[in-house]
Amino acid sequence: MDDMDHLLQYTIPQLLRWRVNSTPEKVALRKKNLGRWQPYTWEQYYAFVRRTALGLEKIGLKRQDKVALIGDNIPEMLFVAIGTHSMGGITAGIYQTSLPEEIADILNYLEVSVVFCDDQEQVDKLVKVRSRIPGVRQVIYEDPRGMRSYQQDPWFMDIQKLYALGDAALDENPNHFEALIDKGKPDDVCHLCLTSGTTGIPKGAMISHRNYINMGVQITRVDPLTTTDEYLSFLPIAWIGEQMNAFGVAMATGITINFPESVETAMEDFKEIGPHFMFGAPRIYENIRSQIWLKIDESYWLNKKLYNVLIKVGSSAAQYRMTGKPMPLGLRVLSWLGDRLMFQPLINQMGLLRLRRAYTGGAALGPELFTFYQAIGVNLKQIYGQTEIVGIAYMHRDGDVRPDTVGKPLPGTECKISEKGEILSRSASVTSGYYKLPDKTRELLEDGWLHSGDAGYIDENGHLVVIDRVSDVMHNRAGAMFSPMFLENRLKFSPYIKEAVIYGDQRDYVAALVNIDPVVVGKWAEDRGVSYSTFMDLSAKPEVAELILKEVQLINSNSEKEHFKIKRFAILYKLLDMDDGELTKTGKIRRMFVKEKYQDLYDALYDESISEKSVEAVFQYQDGQASAIRTSIKFYTMEGI
């Protein structure tokens, strides 16, 4: 037994108590408020969890009762979550972007008794569907602004009142909270984590204390963290990617979690903290890369020339760093100069200078983007897993980063490939199943292995290679197999392309719908005197079409196999959006939904006689209203394919 094995014997509240006994004055959390960072020590963290737990018990919450969390990342989310766990309740995170009807369906499915919201925006959603959620007995809110009209209604409660109830309960029985914590068992379900829902309504994966803590322990055995390390919490708490850090990694390692002032200021706050590690979906890294390219594009011509030379040097050096091979002396000197002259000042502006490791997961990231980050000195590594195994089961090791793989299994994780090519996993982090869905649970955990739904294989180096979703792997009419996700990632490496949807199953050729990046392409257009008014207008410009045409030609020229080449494409008039159901909450394309929604465009992609088509563009606004605009979409055919 090593020095971390004993952590697996605890529940999350018990491990929090252990942290308090070990380092009570160490800063556990920070929250930025009105421009100042407010710290919470482990002892203060524990005190708020205690107040919350006893307050929840006072309002009638019982063991196994459910508490939903809706809102932005704030310390109170953790106080309520772990407070609920302390008294035997179960939490569930709901994305703050969810619409009222969607929230109502989830609350009823999960049988939620209490909902915690951060502000009036989320509370108002519940008010709209109040008649549909009779099981919700109490709505607790953190920010009282705008809540005056609700204060006389007992259905609503300010969190300060909950704290006061908890303080009174502590005075009545000082030992009761400790007794509540002692009742917990590591294998108790503590959280229902909603799947991303690429194939339908989200399912609630039942995650235990041991599931979270085991993941935190095992990742730390590969990439050690120290109690002085900093982390910025900017991912939605409803996503397993944030929970694994807040519940698993932080408790297992004692790192400090920092909460930004708002979603809008998250990246600026990121620069202030300068975290030592970060985790994000591919879209985060794509956006940061776009910002870096914009900075270079806006700099003096000499800087641009120097960047173009040094990025090639960095890319060559990255090949040695990623594989752990010794670098030739000349390249090492040039790489050192590049870091000092260009890349360290550049990544320092982005808040990335102190990063020892950056992780990406939730969807695949193209090999080119890995090489880019490694070239500028950011140790970006792929992780792979799913909600049902607490987010991470496979990851790259330092000195063994292979951009076309997702790394090797974490310690204690077994992997095998089924006869049909599906990735199967087994570890102490695997969920016990889906809440109230026994049939889906049997499919998920058939033969004692977690079925990922992803196709893949293990290469000669012991790395796992993920091809695509089993259901998404495509075959052209001739029977040749290809991965649409692989081609989409190659397209998205272009700074001008934000999103792409690849088609071609049982067809003669591959076709694509493309979203331009409004920031990068907008800047490109302005620099060339191309005027535009809206995203739709910019997307329809012939100059932009020529730009994207060249990007597709470049990607095709680098494709060794003919059936990987894109023959037809169209530039979509709107950005794909999760609020419109086109993307999941983690940014994955809902491919069949997009195909059905834009069926007329899909059909036109496979009718080479069509070069332009008039369509009705429907825009859905946040207030529920919609407007329709007629526009024309042009279709482009690549020569020689």
Apex CA 583: angle with CA 67 and CA 369, to 5°?
Answer: 110
Task: Give all strands of the β-sheet with 36-41 in edge-to-edge order.
Answer: 36-41, 27-33, 256-259, 230-232
Tokens of 360: 């990406």
Question: Looking at residue 583, what is its pLDDT?
Answer: 86
In degrees to the nearest 10, what's the CA dihedral of 470, 476, 479, 482? -50
Q: Which residue has the tokens 């670098």?
A: 327
pLDDT beyond 50 at 132: yes
Question: Looking at residue 367, what is its pLDDT?
Answer: 78
Q: What is the pLDDT of residues 193-246, one digit of tens each?
A: 998 654 456 899 999 999 999 999 999 999 999 999 999 999 999 999 999 999
Question: Looking at residue 621, what is its pLDDT?
Answer: 61
Q: How many residues does the structure list for the chain?
A: 641
**For the purposes of burial, counting CB atoms within 10 Å of the CB of 460, is it exposed (0-12), middle (13-18) or buried (19 or more)?**
exposed
Q: From residue 539, give the alpha-carbon distance in Å to each of 522, 594, 597.
A: 10, 18, 19
Question: Looking at residue 462, what is its pLDDT?
Answer: 94
Q: Taking each helix axis from N to C terminus, what angle separates 42-58 and 176-183, rounded to the nearest 10 degrees?
A: 90
pLDDT category of residue 366 using cuts at 50, 70 and 90: confident
CA 153 to chain centre: 36
Q: Which residue has the higher pLDDT, 354 or 199?
A: 354
Q: What is the pLDDT of residues 55-77, one digit of tens each?
A: 999 999 999 999 999 999 999 99
pLDDT beyond 90 at 586: no
Domains of the chain as residue ranges with CATH: 5-275 (3.40.50.980), 282-384 (no CATH), 397-470 (2.30.38.10), 474-637 (3.30.300.30)
Task: Name 174's Cβ contacts closer than 8 Å, sequence gap at least 6.
Answer: none
Task: Name 328's Cβ contacts closer than 8 Å, sequence gap at least 6.
Answer: none
pLDDT category of residue 1 using cuts at 50, 70 and 90: very low
Q: Which residue has the higher pLDDT, 623 or 322?
A: 322
> Can you name the residues that pair with 258 across neighbouring β-strands?
30, 232
Question: Looking at residue 2, what is its pLDDT?
Answer: 62
Report, as an integer, the average pLDDT of 265-291.
Answer: 90
CA 545 to chain centre: 31
Question: Looking at residue 591, what is its pLDDT?
Answer: 85
Report, as an integer, the average pLDDT of 584-605.
Answer: 88
Report, as an integer, the average pLDDT of 269-291.
Answer: 90
pTM as predicted: 0.84
H/E element holding 430?
A: none
Task: Give all strands of the β-sheet with 380-384 in edge-to-edge order.
Answer: 277-280, 357-360, 380-384, 394-395, 408-409
Q: Mean pLDDT in the chain?
A: 92
